[in-house]
A and B are shown apart, each in its own frame.
Chain A
Amino acid sequence: MLAYNARIATKSLKRNPVLTAIIILGIALGICASTTFTTVRHMFARDPLPGKSDKLFYVRMDNWDPARPYPTSESGPKNANPLPPSLAFRDVTELMRSNLPARQTPSYMTILAVYPERRVSRPYQATVRVVGSDFFPMFDVPFQYGHGWDKTADAKAEQVIVIDHATNAKLFGGANSVGKRLRVGSRDFTIVGVLKPWRPFIKMYDLTQNFVGEPEPLYIPFSLTRPMQIRNVGNSDGWQPVGPTFDDFLASDVDFVPFWVELPKPADRAAYQQFIDNYVRAEKTKGRFLRPLNNQLTAMHDMMVEMGVVRPALTAMVAMSILFLVICALNLTGLLLGKFLARAPEVSVRRALGATRADIFLQHIAECEIVGVAGGVLGMLLSLGVLRFIAKLITATTIISLDLEMILAAIFLSLVAGLIAGLYPAWRICTMQPAVQLKV
């Protein structure tokens, strides 16, 4: 019966190809617009580390000017108690002595010169992320060869380095380069790990600046900051005079180190909050942290909300695109109504020959669903193109693809749109009196 309905429906669709094309295109546009913007928003809003982002906490402590709070902007982060977005080097070093967190890592960015073997490539500058050994397991960084460094390397400030897939391809032809040497920033490093191609949609490990950018190609231990005299690039916030030497800088209240801790259980979180509060209270007695106690442990998801990762403009676009789909569905209803009722004489003959109302109803609903699914598939194909275009606008390496969740949602949406749009026309045609039409 189903096959029969499908056959009649297809026949009917073929009879008026222009109208059919218009109807399918209408649905396709609606599905394309709504899938595109829902997907873009979903890419920003979705959990970047499923199952983990409620265990990873961003640590902030208010060491700002006692005279006034850290400045905020109308378009910037929304925080009831504004405070600097990162920590001072000296505080991170102290906090890292605690063994309360299951894992913990600082994560700031710098730029260093890379000196490959002369015959391979000219020297060049590269962005480098300066992190602790826990960085790799905390943020699920995938390795192709080797692995991150260990705690000993952290403690001894060993010259070890992790390089990304592209750097390995460029400098070592893609071969396993673990154990090889690489000169970076006038020191010789030993390569301990090579990453798989890795392009998270947002850089969740540093949400305070350019989080849509691509991950850095090189990773070195945080403990090298002092011996290599590394200065960060990007955000740094200070309000007090800083002495001229590098040690003055590290001992100052200049905030430039984003710091993450992994706290698996709520009890761990409470204990860690207690720990940082106690730390700041102790520092207060030494004349630092002059503002009221304001230490914030923010779960990754809440940090994303505060930093405005999901742009309000995107939410507006999702709303607009869904209304667009609604209009397309209303439009479809109108067109189908006209189409079906124009066919009244033919349907009347079928009714007279014994087809029940249910048969007629199902036959027409089948037609609507065929149109709906065809429009849905076409819409998704269109949206793939549009998404590729939008991704290129965000950054050259951003990738937006439809994941299974979104594909299923789009198919479901097109089925629902087809059903809702077809319900009334199908009902009208099946409740029509055949006698009236047959008298002609």
Chain B
Amino acid sequence: MEFGPIVRALSRNRMRTLLIVLQIGITLAVIANAVTMIKGHRAKMQKESGFDDDNLLWVHSKPYAETYNERSFRITTTQADVRALNGIPGVTAASNTNFVPWQGGGSSTEAKVAGGDGTKVRMQAYVTSPQILDTLGVHLVSGRALRDSDLDLDPKSTKSTVIISRALEQLMFKGKSAVGQQLLESDNSVDTIVGVFDKFYNPYGFPIHEYTYFADGIASYGGARYLVHVEPGKMKQVIPEIEKRLLQVNDGRTFEFKTINEIKNQYFTESRIVIGAMTAVILLLVIVTGLGIVGVTSFAVTERRKQIGTRRALGATKPAILRYFLLENWIITNTGLLLGIAMAYGLNYLLVTKAEGDKLDWRFVVAGVVLLWLQGIIATLAPATRAAAVSPVIATRAV
């Protein structure tokens, strides 16, 4: 092997070597960290809500008719709306609820177990009509679902019927069943738990993403909101039909429609920007450094045409020349990668402490190393082949 001559040749061309080493080093550092960032944001986006997000629609009825100032009118209209929605072909289930998945917030309350140790727990709190489980596509684990007869319309009432998420049951009742138990809220209202469902995940400002209850009630203040579960692929047809049917119920209002995926996309704007940009950076980096290696190796070949000719004249075969350049590049690449591994961890430390990010996963570093090895070989191949094609005659023409 030509290790000796290669290393000596490289040490004569320190600048050229340094250029590639640095380029490969920084490239590895950037790629490994970019992949880590992409993975972190992917994980956030792929977190399952437990709901059938793809087929859920949010409908906001925005009333302007003054009759809506009457509470009783709001209630009867809302109930009529729910009946109308559930009768539309293509709609599998619809609920009146103030819960909107994936908007990064909602409403919350604090409550303790009646007869418990008094620990107050913060949880998301929503009111809904009874169809909520079918609408979201979540399953009842124990107890029963909400019913129409649970509805208590007395405005002074401090009692309500609720179903809670399994995560909340585990947190508050420590493995025992919550069905039949009661929650005491800080406004002195009492919630009787009749059922437990799974799964529920809705990112919130406080760390209570998986804890929630749904209380039987009417959500109509500021305009009733509905969640509608649609048969797969029917979203486009169903929306105008919903508008038509609800206007038949009452036409003193306008409507806003949003699919849950639109709301989710908005919530994940930052993640989508990071993923898109970092993917572009990785692709472009591979191309840019690839071109760089081609350029510098070509230059190294041109500069040494005479030496190559001499070697050929003295008996070196074409494969020997090819091997020489591939090996030279391999040594440079490895030096760069060694530097790159150190830089990747250094950059990761800075990102984690000064900006944001997860700890670097060593597997991404390994993947980056393999990628850059391959890239090095491919990028060197063309110039090295040209080097091998240098005619021995060159030697006789030299100075």
Contacts and interface: CB of A to CB of B under 8 A. Distances in A.
Interface of A: 22, 26, 29, 33, 36-37, 65, 67-68, 71-74, 76, 111, 113-115, 122-125, 186, 209, 231, 233, 239-242, 244, 311-313, 315-317, 319-321, 323-324, 326-328, 330-331, 333-335, 337-338, 341-342, 390, 393-394, 424, 428, 436, 439-440
A342 B65 CA distance: 81
Chain B at the A interface: mostly helix, strand, loop or mixed? Answer: helix
A337 B296 contact: yes
Contact of B292 (A124, A231, A334): A334
A67 B19 CA distance: 62
B302 A73 contact: no
Nearest to A317: B277
A315 B69 contact: no
A386 B284 CA distance: 15
16 contacts: A26-B291, A37-B277, A67-B120, A124-B64, A125-B64, A317-B274, A320-B33, A321-B281, A323-B26, A335-B291, A335-B295, A337-B16, A338-B296, A390-B273, A393-B269, A439-B399
Nearest to A318: B355
Interface in B35-67: 37, 62-66
Interface in B175-212: 186-188, 204-207
Given A29-B284, A341-B303, 10 more contacts: A65-B186, A186-B66, A313-B356, A316-B351, A317-B278, A319-B355, A320-B30, A320-B34, A327-B30, A330-B26
Interface in B329-348: 347
Nearest to B222: A111
A281 B3 CA distance: 81
A122 B254 contact: yes
B288 interface: yes
B23 A114 contact: no
A333 B222 contact: no
B209 to A, nearest CB: 10
Interface size class of B (residues with CB under 8 A): 35 or more
A78 to B, nearest CB: 13
Contacts of A333: 19
B64 A114 contact: yes
Contacts of A331: 23, 288-289, 291-292, 295
Contacts of A324: 30, 281, 284-285
Nearest to A340: B299
A29 B288 contact: yes
A320 B278 contact: yes
Contacts of B274: 313, 316-317
B289 A241 contact: no
Given A26-B288, A71-B122, A313 B26 contact: no
Contact of B351 (A113, A114, A319, A328): A319
A22 B291 contact: yes
Nearest to A126: B62
Interface in B261-279: 269-270, 272-274, 277-278
Which 10 A-B pairs give the minimum distances between C-beta atoms?
A338-B299, A123-B64, A312-B356, A331-B292, A113-B64, A125-B62, A241-B187, A316-B355, A315-B355, A334-B296
A165 B359 CA distance: 48
A244 B156 contact: yes
A384 B150 CA distance: 57
Nearest to B60: A125
A334 B273 contact: no
Nearest to A331: B292
B357 interface: yes
B155 interface: yes
A341 B299 contact: yes
A71 B66 CA distance: 39
A420 to B, nearest CB: 12
A113 B155 contact: no
B20 A334 contact: yes
B354 interface: yes
Chain A CB count within 10 A is highest, among B37, B204, B274, B292, for B292
Contact of A233 (B65, B222, B288, B397): B222
A36 B274 CA distance: 13
A393 B295 contact: no
Given A113-B64, A124-B254, A341-B303, A327 B277 contact: no
A338 to B, nearest CB: 3
A285 B284 CA distance: 66
Contacts of B284: 29, 33, 324
A233 B397 CA distance: 86
A338 B302 contact: yes
A375 to B, nearest CB: 12
A264 to B, nearest CB: 34
Contact of A393 (B273, B280, B285, B296): B273
B217 to A, nearest CB: 15
Nearest to A236: B107
Nearest to A439: B399
Contacts of A65: 186
Given A240-B186, A326-B26, A125 B223 contact: yes
A394 B269 contact: yes
A37 to B, nearest CB: 7
A71 B64 contact: no
Nearest to B280: A33
Nearest to A425: B15
Contact of B23 (A76, A311, A317, A334): A334
A334 B293 CA distance: 8
A394 B265 CA distance: 10
A241 B186 contact: yes
Contact of A319 (B19, B222, B254, B350): B350
Nearest to A71: B206
A113 B64 CA distance: 5
A334 B285 contact: no
Interface string B9-36: 0000001100110110011011001100
Given A331-B292, A334-B296, A320 B281 contact: yes
B186 A239 contact: yes
A124 B61 CA distance: 11
Contacts of A439: 399
A73 B207 contact: yes
Contacts of B354: 315
A74 B356 CA distance: 13
B243 interface: no
Nearest to A229: B69
Contacts of A321: 277, 281
A115 B356 CA distance: 47
A92 B110 CA distance: 25
Contact of A186 (B62, B69, B221): B69
A125 B254 contact: yes
B291 to A, nearest CB: 6
